[in-house]
A and B are shown apart, each in its own frame.
Chain A
Amino acid sequence: MLPRRPVNRTLPLPHKRLQLMITCLCDAFYADVAQASVEILEHLGCEIEFPEAQTCCGQPAFNSGDWEAARRVIRHTETVFGGNLPIVVPSGSCSAMLQHGNALCFERQPDLPQIVDLGRRAWEIVDYIVNGLGVRCWPGRLAARAAFHASCHSRGSRTTEAASRLLSTISGLELLHPNEPEQCCGFGGSFAVTFPHISTSMGNLKIENLLALEPDFVVSADMSCLMHQQGLAQKQGRPLTVRHFVQVLRDALRNGGFLGPA
């Protein structure tokens, strides 16, 4: 999605009830990321609602220019995530769609106010934990070198700073920052297949910068970036392990004995 200013949002309710949007990518491929989201939020005392009818944020059609198709999906999402609870998403990209892209897609639609309201309730998960719940320090431990990939759709949001701060408090975890951190890895949704040469060339540059840090894994807010980076590396026979922020947070808790064993 796009760079944007922090939105004026609904504050999380004191009893920490929230709705979880797991994203289509985690629904189809990365169940463990969705699971880790639940585990860390429950560890923090949150009560999680998972609306079963959820599907996708609508971004694939929106980015491809089919705004009519995108609006169909966004309206569905707006219905599914009714009420006034915060909506927490383990993705910088999908939360940017909810907070910013949706409003652009509906700029000339009569139901714009409802869609804007949906965006106000949306949080990227680490932003929620750090800036919503006020968590500043993470318990547990994880002995590892982690290369930090700042996902593009977290630009202009508070996610990158929040994640950087929170992860650096984990005992044993060494956070490493690559060269040219502002450069996109080339995923870009349908861009990855409509511009395959440019997309993979961008990805190769990113992988070089990440692997140069000799990390145990790459960590990011978005599985979409990580899917592309790992897919590229794997095809070339180069090992590249990827972890979502929430998996790192969950693993640290588990190692510290705060959760049951895996």
Chain B
Amino acid sequence: MNPQPLDRFAERLRPEVRQSVHLGCAGATQARLTALTRDFEDPEPLRRLAAEIRQHTLDHLDTYLEAAESSMRRRGIEVHFAEDGETARKLILSLLRDHGAQRICKSKSMASEEIELNGFLTRAGIAVVETDLGEFIIQLDEDHPSHVVRPIAHRNRGDVASTFQKHGLGDWDDRPEIITRRARAYMRNQYLSSHAALTGGNFISAESGRLVLVTNEGNARFSLAASRLHIALVGIEKIVPRDRDLSVLLGLLARSATGQHLSVYTEFIAGPKAPGQPDGPEAMHVILFDNHRSTVLASSCREILRCIRCGACMNVCPVYRQASGHAYRHVYPGPLGAVLGPLLRDPAEFPEMADLPKASSLCGACQEVCPVDIPIPDLLLRLRDRTHREKIPSSGSSLPLREWSLLASHPLAWRAALFAGSAVNLLPPALLPSAALRTWSQHRTLPKWRGGAFRAWFRLRRRPGGPEAEALALEAEELLPGTPV
């Protein structure tokens, strides 16, 4: 059997990392369930409504993008389209340079992770500070987020205390309140000296042009308050048709992500600072960002673009809990990433990521918790089908499935194999006739082969008496000792 990269990664994962991931995920899964069942008699209709809103938007995305663009322009927001990462990076840099911005505060944005924006801006001489606490710790350590909501899901508080100590943010102390207070003190000065705020965007209303930002730390609000320029990098799929759709999506987002009714800060940003307003950025630019999303939209996996990035699928995923987010080799981990990771790459790079859709037992827990009911297992299966059709070798199954399918469509051969299979009972595990059976037997026993025993029993009871029955009785007795015949 070819070792799968994700399985190998999980095998080598440090136990303390696995423990952090597991505890965080189990806690978040429980919090979600508690919040939804406490607040709604039956959360299912709400989940289905949210799915319909998102799917409807995707099915008419061209219309809603145009509507969103003109609504935003009416509010004095400059709107740009960026087809790929390179375009987005250059655009951001030129906007910053036009405004003479050398220091920027950034609030959490997965889209910016897609294009490795921090490294690019730093190399261009711009000082970037991540203001979300988790992302700040990631930045200090030159690490990568391992979860879409909890970027440091793979770390524990002791780790964080060491990071702070190493970077001169106080003596080692792993009390969360101390860590938070130190980050806050550090961040205040950063906000005050920042020239520009860079954010992502959770939603944009096509109807009103409002940009919605969700945080628990208020860091986006602080970043915006002190900056002259606001740049938001937002995936084209983040549009919602109307403001009232947000009432469905925001409540589900917070409950699914952390078990809150709403996140602590929900900003509705309706444009740059208006005349007479005391503060806020004088210029606001929204970059609608494609980066292969149009390709996904045209593919058989369009539904994945419904995602509102709550992270519930990765929290509940037993594979993610074993492997951690970095195992997915991409910005988006877990079940979401197993679909989106391969699709957000250049199509020529699909083969390199084609193992990810196989990294699932297809248990379906992800779809069960998804606030927008994305049929993730179906999408994983469609990608497996694509991988097979495109004859991508790295993820080719080593099971002889074609031969098996011939057997399973020829009943006589099937029955012969059922009887012949009992030879397996006599073999020691090392001599089993297939790699799959040997791998199975390394960690598990095989049940006793009783091929055809039921068939013999069933035939016999239909024809009691006579010589044929006697022969069948012997056959059944041999295969199923102790069975009444």
Chain A residues close to B by CB (< 8 Å): 1-3, 22, 24, 26-32, 34-35, 38, 50, 52-56, 58, 60-67, 69-70, 72-73, 75-76, 80, 101, 104, 152-153, 155-156, 180, 182-184, 186-203, 205, 227-228, 230-232, 234-235, 260-262
Contacts and interface: CB of A to CB of B under 8 A. Distances in A.
Nearest to B30: A180
Interface of B: 1-2, 4, 6-8, 10-11, 26, 29, 316, 318-319, 322-323, 358-365, 367-368, 375, 377-378, 381-382, 384-388, 395, 397-399, 401-402, 404-409, 411, 414-415, 418, 421, 435-436, 439-440, 442-455, 457-458, 479-480, 482-484
A3 B482 CA distance: 38
A227 B447 contact: yes
A24 B386 CA distance: 27
A98 to B, nearest CB: 15
Contact of B6 (A27, A70, A195, A235): A195
6 contacts: A67-B388, A69-B405, A180-B26, A194-B1, A195-B358, A198-B6
Contact of B365 (A69, A152, A187): A152
B411 A198 contact: no
Contacts of B381: 2, 62-63, 65, 101, 104
Contacts of B377: 1-3
B404 A182 contact: no
A167 B450 CA distance: 28
Contacts of A76: 408-409
Contacts of A203: 444
Contacts of B319: 195, 198, 202
B364 A153 contact: yes
Contact of B368 (A156, A190, A227): A156
Contacts of B452: 27
Nearest to A179: B26
B430 to A, nearest CB: 14
A55 B453 CA distance: 14
A261 B407 CA distance: 37
A2 B443 contact: no
Nearest to B479: A31
A73 B408 contact: yes
Is chain A's interface secondary structure helix, strand, loop, or mixed overall?
A: helix
Contacts of B457: 31, 35
A34 B457 CA distance: 10
Nearest to B384: A65
A52 B455 contact: yes
Is chain B's interface secondary structure helix, strand, loop, or mixed overall?
A: helix
A155 B44 CA distance: 14
B440 A193 contact: yes
Nearest to A93: B362
A60 B404 contact: yes
B299 to A, nearest CB: 14
Contacts of A70: 405
Nearest to B476: A31
Contact of A55 (B360, B385, B409, B447): B409
A188 B443 contact: no
B474 to A, nearest CB: 16
B408 A188 contact: no
A35 B459 CA distance: 12
A254 to B, nearest CB: 10
A194 B401 CA distance: 14
A155 B7 contact: no
Contact of B361 (A58, A155, A184): A184
A101 B385 CA distance: 13
Contacts of A235: 443-445
A2 B10 contact: no
Contact of B378 (A2, A24, A67): A2
Given A2-B364, A194-B397, A196-B442, A29 B449 contact: yes
Highest count of chain A CB atoms <10 Å: which of B4, B409, B455: B409
B401 A30 contact: no
B408 A56 contact: yes
A56 B411 CA distance: 10
A232 to B, nearest CB: 5
A152 B421 CA distance: 28
Contacts of A184: 318, 361, 363, 365
Highest count of chain B CB atoms <10 Å: which of A35, A60, A198: A198
A232 B445 CA distance: 7
